[in-house]
Amino acid sequence: MFGNNQADSHGNNILHMLAICNQPDIYAKYKARWIQQKTINALVDMSHTETIRLKSSEPPKLWNRLNNRGLTPLTLVASLGRSNMLSWLLQERKIVQWSYGDVTCELHPLDQLDLGFHKEVSHQLKLKLYIYIYIYIYI
């Protein structure tokens, strides 16, 4: 079975693979299970030890992990042009700030959209990603 820390030869973890294969239901279930398991592990750790672990020593969340091309599952599907999965991933991450009638203010976390800090990601790939995101949000 493909575990949390396993990756294929391209560095894709299970969420990368589910995103590539357009499996949003399984993606959501696996992510929820991962969060549940992390919470249980944290509670067990807290009950057995009184030392405080630094947050920086924790590995990134499964959906924020980069493959060999420096892409998260979200940026990977954008670069592959998988519009349905990209749309689903953006909807999953959005936060509704407020709503008044037909007008809604939605916040989209930028931690996976802004690739400026990934030096290995090409300019062309960044441009392609931003175009897909722009089309999704504004059109």
Model confidence at 14, in pLDDT bands (50, 70, 90)? very high
pTM as predicted: 0.70
Calpha distance 84→23 (Å, rounded)? 10
Is residue 127 pLDDT above 70, yes or no?
no
Is residue 1 pLDDT above 50, yes or no?
no
Model confidence at 38, in pLDDT bands (50, 70, 90)? confident
Q: Record the tokens describing residue 97, joined without a space.
A: 């700030």
Percent of the chain, pLDDT > 70? 65
Highest-pLDDT range among 15-19, 41-45, 71-75, 131-135 = 15-19
The domain limits of the chain are 14-138
**Whole-Å CA distances, 53 to 58, 90, 124, 135:** 8, 31, 39, 41
Residues 73-125: tens digit of each pLDDT: 998 998 888 989 988 998 898 888 888 998 888 887 766 665 554 555 566 66
| Kind plus residue range of the DSSP H or E element containing 29 | helix 24-48
Q: What count of other Cβ atoms lies within 10 Å of the Cβ of residue 79?
A: 19
Percent of the chain, pLDDT > 90? 24
For residue 105, the model assigns a pLDDT of 86
Is residue 28 pLDDT above 80, yes or no?
yes
Calpha distance 64→34 (Å, rounded)? 13
**Cα dihedral 34→68→110→86 (10° resolution):** -80
For residue 24, the model assigns a pLDDT of 95
Model confidence at 44, in pLDDT bands (50, 70, 90)? confident
Crossing angle of helices 123-138 and 83-93, in 10° steps, is 70
